[in-house]
Chains A and B, each alone.
Chain A
């Protein structure tokens, strides 16, 4: 195991983040605050509580997931896309590193950033809404697992993308809609029966549901099922990454 290489990549990626610390931290904090002003304060005050949780508190897990998914994907996809774009990928390809080390460096750094950001959003949310976390360990577990899974997903997008528009298209066209329709701002049980069934095909529903359970102990779907779904998606991403390095897809001719 080339530990020095993992450390080099991980450190490089984190320092890239710290260079743009303002942008990396302030923009999600501002956008989260806006959600709280609009959904929490303005609309939330006219809505009843859901499953015994005030609307402002109810949307917190969904908001964290929304950011976690977006940030994981964009961090990881950008992290591996940029060296491809600028040509500096030659160095990683010619270095004595295996696929495992490359992934640990890039995906590890992206997931670290997302987890830190998720925690930051939780702290920001506390300024607007008082909330309790029923299962803090499970909450952190879901946070970390989701960050890793979607950083891997972002890594795959970054390798697949051969232009900046492709880098944006999957987050924009697929992930954001799935997150908004995944129960960030409502409970699945509030939907008409047909849509409840359709919603079950949305993987993000399971993520948000499991995460919300760790906060309030109630959820649309059992926490166990959520966990299995996250692990399942993680396995799919790992398989795709393994295939990428085996075949050299978009990395080596």
Chain B
């Protein structure tokens, strides 16, 4: 896989002495959606801000499309668009004007048709002459996305894009991000909504206390660390697990009315069929059963707490 962003040996120590990043190595593949997960204060925003040129690295280098973001900042930054976490906008400016401003700032000639396309893509064309201060929070967020897209970047950073955004708008935003990926844009998003990473990402990186503790293909990660559970609701409660079933990792809950069977999704076969046959043999009847897969959230929590 060709990497579009290469981070090598990156550290950041702020003037206060706080070590925000410790020896980060990270490669982002061209054309993927990469989700950077981490608790608050883990270093997600610092990492993004260094790549985008807002914060200076203490040591290490970052290449964006082969260009060093410090020494060759013009070439590097021209390819990058950033939607920061905070809704920072010029309150009195009009939507269309602020998006045109961004395009110019990133060195592109004025192009009214392109600005229209971008505004239509984020459903703000009707609001092009509205002052930003009159918009709702969700619309302001979309203004910021339009600003980041105005210069046709190849790489888009979305720092907590759906923080404080309602469910419907979040779905719209996800659809838009997928559309961008389809057009060839590489997307790096930070989030602490695990659901978002699970829904969107091709690969997931987990950062905690300034260190990347894991980078993995999302599907592989789910498979590797994922556990499945089968919950069996019994017709008549049991007082204990019958000795015939002792070889299974079973747990009895709900005052003996539910059996929980935990199994590894990677294992050879799930063992469900054998278990059910065994239940039948010892004469345990059940009302209902359902299986569930552990979510990325469970995986994330266990990873971060293991390191704490």
CB distance from B211 to the nearest CB of A (A): 20
CA distance A167 to B74 in the complex (A): 31
Confirm or deny: B107 has a beta carbon within 8 angstroms of a beta carbon on chain A: yes
On chain A, the residues within 8 Å of B75 by CB distance are 96
On chain B, the residues within 8 Å of A88 by CB distance are 88-90
CB distance from A105 to the nearest CB of B (A): 9
Tell me whether A90 and B82 are in contact in the complex, defined as CB-CB below 8 angstroms, given that A2-B107, A12-B101, A96-B107 are known contacts.
yes
Of A3-11, A34-42, A64-72, A206-214, the stretch lying at the interface with chain B is A3-11
A80-105 Cβ-contact flags toward B at 8 Å (1 or 0): 00000011101111111110000000
Confirm or deny: A248 has a beta carbon within 8 angstroms of a beta carbon on chain B: yes
CA distance A90 to B105 in the complex (A): 12
Interface range on chain A (Cβ under 8 Å from partner): 20 to 34
Confirm or deny: B207 has a beta carbon within 8 angstroms of a beta carbon on chain A: no
CA distance A252 to B55 in the complex (A): 6
CB distance from A91 to the nearest CB of B (A): 6
Confirm or deny: A239 has a beta carbon within 8 angstroms of a beta carbon on chain B: no
User: Is the beta-carbon distance between A5 and B89 smaller than 8 angstroms?
Assistant: no
CB distance from B256 to the nearest CB of A (A): 58
User: Is the beta-carbon distance between B147 and A91 smaller than 8 angstroms?
Assistant: yes
User: Is the beta-carbon distance between A94 and B80 smaller than 8 angstroms?
Assistant: yes
**B105 partner, pick from A15, A97, A248, A253, beta carbons under 8 A:** A97
Confirm or deny: B15 has a beta carbon within 8 angstroms of a beta carbon on chain A: yes
B67-103 Cβ-contact flags toward A at 8 Å (1 or 0): 0000001111110101010101111110001001111
Confirm or deny: A19 has a beta carbon within 8 angstroms of a beta carbon on chain B: yes
Tell me whether A5 and B105 are in contact in the complex, defined as CB-CB below 8 angstroms, given that A88-B89, A90-B84, A96-B73 are known contacts.
yes
Confirm or deny: B106 has a beta carbon within 8 angstroms of a beta carbon on chain A: yes
B93-136 Cβ-contact flags toward A at 8 Å (1 or 0): 10001001111111111100000000000000000000000000
User: Is the beta-carbon distance between B52 and A94 smaller than 8 angstroms?
Assistant: yes
On chain B, the residues within 8 Å of A96 by CB distance are 73-78, 106-107
CA distance A96 to B76 in the complex (A): 8
Closest to B157 in A: A94
CA distance A136 to B99 in the complex (A): 42
**B88 partner, pick from A15, A90, A98, beta carbons under 8 A:** A90
Confirm or deny: B14 has a beta carbon within 8 angstroms of a beta carbon on chain A: yes
Closest to B78 in A: A96
CA distance A12 to B93 in the complex (A): 9
User: Is the beta-carbon distance between A253 and B15 smaller than 8 angstroms?
Assistant: yes
Closest to A12 in B: B101
On chain B, the residues within 8 Å of A12 by CB distance are 93, 97, 101
User: Is the beta-carbon distance between B74 and A87 smaller than 8 angstroms?
Assistant: no
User: Is the beta-carbon distance between B53 and A5 smaller than 8 angstroms?
Assistant: no
User: Is the beta-carbon distance between B105 and A9 smaller than 8 angstroms?
Assistant: yes
Confirm or deny: B192 has a beta carbon within 8 angstroms of a beta carbon on chain A: no
User: Is the beta-carbon distance between A95 and B106 smaller than 8 angstroms?
Assistant: yes
User: Is the beta-carbon distance between A95 and B97 smaller than 8 angstroms?
Assistant: no
Closest to A10 in B: B104
On chain B, the residues within 8 Å of A15 by CB distance are 97
Closest to B16 in A: A253
User: Is the beta-carbon distance between B107 and A86 smaller than 8 angstroms?
Assistant: no
CB distance from A220 to the nearest CB of B (A): 44
Closest to A98 in B: B74
On chain A, the residues within 8 Å of B106 by CB distance are 4-5, 95-96
Closest to B109 in A: A4
CB distance from A4 to the nearest CB of B (A): 4
**B82 partner, pick from A16, A94, A248, beta carbons under 8 A:** A94
Confirm or deny: B54 has a beta carbon within 8 angstroms of a beta carbon on chain A: yes
User: Is the beta-carbon distance between A5 and B88 smaller than 8 angstroms?
Assistant: no
**B102 partner, pick from A2, A16, A91, A253, beta carbons under 8 A:** A91
**A252 partner, pick from B56, B77, B100, B103, beta carbons under 8 A:** B56
User: Is the beta-carbon distance between A5 and B104 smaller than 8 angstroms?
Assistant: yes
Contacts A/B (CB < 8 Å), 7 sampled: A8-B105, A9-B105, A11-B101, A94-B80, A95-B77, A95-B106, A95-B107
Which residues of A approach B to under 8 Å, CB–CB?
A: 2, 4-5, 7-9, 11-12, 15-16, 19, 86-88, 90-98, 248, 252-253
- Give me 18 other A-B pairs in contact (C-beta within 8 A), A93-B52, A96-B106 excluded: A4-B104, A4-B110, A7-B104, A8-B100, A8-B101, A8-B103, A12-B101, A86-B88, A88-B88, A91-B105, A91-B147, A94-B77, A95-B77, A96-B76, A98-B74, A252-B54, A252-B56, A253-B14
**4 smallest A-B Cβ distances: which pairs?**
A8-B104, A87-B88, A96-B77, A96-B74
